[in-house]
Structures are given as C-alpha cells and as structure tokens.
C-alpha cells in the first residue's frame, strides 16, 4: 500500500476551497454527507478506526451489495463508513436482504454527535436507494464501545457473542484484529420508513 498523508486522503478538493477557511466544524449539522468510492473509504478507515483499521477494498466489492459514505466539511473528511452484504449472510435468516455496517471511522476532530447523525443519514439513503434491503446490522466491539450511537439512532441490541477466531482446522485466516465480545445491533426497515 502507498504511504498516505492524512491531508491526501481527507481533502477531496485541495485546490478548490469553498471559502470557509478550513475551519473545523463545531456541529455535526455542518457536515455534508455523500457516497464515496471504496478506495477512499478504506483509506480513511485505516487512518481513524480504533480496532479494525485494516479492510481490503476487494473484501468489500466482491459482495452482492456494497456502498460507502463520507461526511465532509469544506471538502475535508471527518467520517467514513463501509457497508456490504453481511459477512455471515448464510447464517442469517434475512442474509440476502441485509446490509452490514462493516466499518465506521471518525476523525478525532469531528464534532459531537457525528456518529449518530451519520447513522441516521445513511439509513435514510439506504432506504431510498436500496429498496430490497430489509435489515441493517452492525457489530459493536465491547472493549471499546458501549453502543451509545446505536441506541441514540433507534437500533436494537439483539445478541451478544464471544469473540472467536475465523480460523479453523480446514482454513487458516489472518490474525484477528480483535477477539473481544461483540454485540449485534439491528435496524429493521419498515414500510413507513419507505414513505
């Protein structure tokens, strides 16, 4: 992977400033949310994610469904998110119509409530543009998060599992980035969400 400067990845238009002077936003309401390409989302994730900085773009795009987002202020990124078909879709009753939040990474200088605002915006976008999706899921690492962003955004905690290895006798995987217990959160998309 190439060596990245934080400024190279965060700044989407270095030559065309909007005139805000590059000031750090003080409110999540100042952020502009949009789709972004998988490469940029993975690079931003590598800069900011506290537990899972590594995710290869090819692990995202080989899924049936995937979509990536960024939130910016004055063309500077403050949060990125990567969604795809669930990793364990075959174990889920609604695996074919679910979308998993694989990563959401937030810059240290992002304004308060950025995560909850981003979750809400992404949910509305997915409801509108991916009508076949019926369930959103995400996994919380219990060693570093309390699930506050999901609670604040109307998600439900549905299960808690012990951290286990993806490796087994038949297939060796890369070393795990975390073996912490995980909580699965879900947001069911209802008919009234689609109005």
C-alpha distance from residue 83 to each of 35, 41, 104, 123 (Å): 11, 10, 9, 11
Burial of 160 (0-12, 13-18, 19+ CB in 10 A): exposed
Distance, in Å, from the CA atom of 193 to the CA atom of 134, rounded to the nearest integer, reads 10
pLDDT for the residue numbered 174: 58
**How do residues 147-181 score in pLDDT, each as one tens digit?**
889 998 999 999 776 655 555 667 665 555 555 77
Mean confidence (pLDDT) of the chain:
84
pLDDT for the residue numbered 23: 75
Cα three-residue angle 104-134-33, rounded to 5 degrees: 35
Are residues 72 and 78 in contact, defined by beta-carbon separation less than 8 angstroms?
yes
The percentage of residues in the chain with a pLDDT greater than 70, rounded to a whole number, is: 80
Within a 13 Å sphere around the CA of 33, how many CA atoms are in the beta-carbon half?
18
**How do residues 101-154 score in pLDDT, each as one tens digit?**
999 999 999 999 999 999 999 999 999 999 999 999 999 887 777 888 999 899
Are residues 30 and 73 in contact, defined by beta-carbon separation less than 8 angstroms?
yes
Task: Write down the pTM of the prediction.
Answer: 0.80
**Phi/psi of residue 43, each to 5°?**
-65, -45
Position of tokens 């700044």?
11
pLDDT for the residue numbered 135: 95
């Amino acid at each position: 992977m190439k060596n990245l400067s934080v400024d190279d990845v965060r700044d989407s238009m270095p030559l065309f400033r909007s005139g805000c002077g590059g000031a750090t936003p003080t409110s999540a309401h100042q952020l502009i949310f949009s789709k972004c390409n998988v490469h940029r989302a993975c690079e931003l994730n590598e800069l900011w994610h506290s537990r899972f900085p590594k995710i290869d773009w090819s692990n995202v795009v080989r899924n049936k469904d995937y979509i990536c987002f960024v939130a910016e202020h004055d063309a500077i990124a403050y949060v990125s998110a990567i969604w795809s078909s669930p990793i364990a879709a075959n174990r889920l009753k609604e695996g074919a119509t679910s979308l998993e939040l694989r990563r959401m990474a937030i810059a240290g200088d992002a304004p308060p409530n950025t995560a909850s605002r981003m979750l809400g915006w992404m949910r509305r976008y997915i409801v509108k543009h991916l009508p076949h999706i019926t369930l959103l899921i995400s996994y919380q690492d219990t060693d570093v998060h309390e699930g506050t962003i999901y609670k604040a955004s109307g998600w439900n905690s549905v299960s808690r599992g012990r951290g286990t290895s993806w490796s087994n006798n038949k297939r060796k995987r890369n070393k795990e980035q975390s073996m912490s217990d995980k909580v699965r959160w879900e947001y069911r998309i209802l008919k009234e969400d689609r109005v």
